[in-house]
Amino acid sequence: MAHALHSRLPPRHPLAAAHRTAAGPRARRMPWLRHAGVRERGMTLVELVVAMAVALMVLGTVAALFGGTSRNRASLERAARLAENAQYAIQLLRDDVAQAGYYDTLTTSAGGFSWRTSDPCATAIGDLGWSHPAGTPPPVNAKIENAPVPIFGLRAAEASPGCIPDRIPGTAVLVVRFVGPEPTPVAEARGMPHLQLSKCDAETPNKLNLGAFSGDPTSFTLHNVGCGTLADVKRFQVRAYYVARCSRCGVDTIPTLKRAELTADGIALTPLVEGVENLQVEYGLDANGDGTPERYLAYPDASLGAAYGLWSNVMAVKLYLLARSTDAEPGYRDTKQFNLGPAGYTEPANDGFKRVLLTTLVRPMGPAGQREMP
């Protein structure tokens, strides 16, 4: 009876609303529906499709942003790696050129002294340019009359010697010689050639270059200033820098700066910096003996005057080093030209590798410093 009465009440009548609220089981389970006036219902197919489309658009935008960021990061990493490799390569060359000609206290102005050009692939101690004719061991504890030129090179067009394999045609070879700045304990001065120069007045009354060049520890008996201790024994270094067509030949084809170095076991090859594809050199020659170059040449040339034909007159070295990225840049095409000094301008590579050219001027402080001294 009550139910029939309430069913006949107007919809807006307070008793009818109270009856609906009390009668609804879902309203009793979820009271918030009573206050919000919300009905529970599912999503229609149209709403689902629209939601999926919006979600896909959001995901696509996020993916595009992430992909662009990732590509930019990879590009920046390649550029940073290229700059770092090029800087490292030029610094290696700078350091060794600056040391070239450091032969401890050897005095090049002493009477009877002369420079000798020696084979960069020589390994026998008698062929390294120190005193006496090539092929004969230098004397021990005798006057040093000859020493190898500190800086030597091969022109781009010259054939490579046997110790410099896989060289890229048209690139230069730079050879530097010096003794290490740190002394070697006498007992360990074996196998590799070492130089010892006397600094004892009793042994060198005429201030001559009295020395020993040997790989035998028993040869080093000259003394230091005061004549109470043995003079320093320093290892002789010969290093040839060149550009090879591969880092690990037979495995890759990455152009690489390499070093061919004299060791106790012969000439050892060391890959130094991948991506270096060209090296050119200009030599600053001093013709009047003041330590300052008058001319820069791709190679000593006696036709310009006798002094310009001597490797011993090289007092500065200008380096041109061209490096490229080791990985191609997607969507990039290299159309640049680079000035390689004596080799002229390069042709556009038209490939996907980015490139950078570094140049620097270095003075070998030993030879130049001796000439500048009053």
φ, ψ dihedrals at 48, nearest 5°: -65, -45
Confidence (pLDDT) at 10: 55
For 78, 105, 197, 247, 308, the CA distances from 224, given in Å and listed in that order, are: 52, 11, 9, 44, 37
Domain assignment of residue 193, yes or no = no
What's the total number of domains in the chain?
A: 1
The answer to whether residue 260 sits within a structural domain is yes
Asked whether residue 64 is assigned to any structural domain, the reply reads: no
Domain span at residue 277 reads: 72-103+239-374
Q: What is the helix (H) or strand (E) element at residue 285, kind and residue range?
A: strand 276-285
Q: pTM score, two decimals?
A: 0.80
Q: Is residue 326 part of a domain?
A: yes
Give me the mean pLDDT over the 357-369 stretch.
92
pLDDT band at 1 (very low <50, low <70, confident <90, very high): very low
Mean pLDDT of 202-228: 87
pLDDT tens digits, residue range 105-139? 888 876 778 999 989 999 999 899 998 766 677 77
> Mean pLDDT throughout 292-321?
96
What integer is the mean pLDDT of 140-154? 90
Tell me the residue type at 9. L
Query: What would the pLDDT profile of 246-298 be if each residue is shown by its tens digit?
Result: 999 999 999 999 999 999 999 999 999 999 999 999 999 999 999 999 999 99
CA distance 70 to 164: 41
303 in any annotated domain = yes
Rounded Cα distance, 307 and 325, in Å: 41
> What confidence score (pLDDT) does residue 306 get?
96
Lowest mean pLDDT among 47-56, 158-167, 185-194, 273-282: 47-56
CA distances to 47, 51, 59 from 62, in Å: 23, 17, 5
Asked whether residue 343 is assigned to any structural domain, the reply reads yes
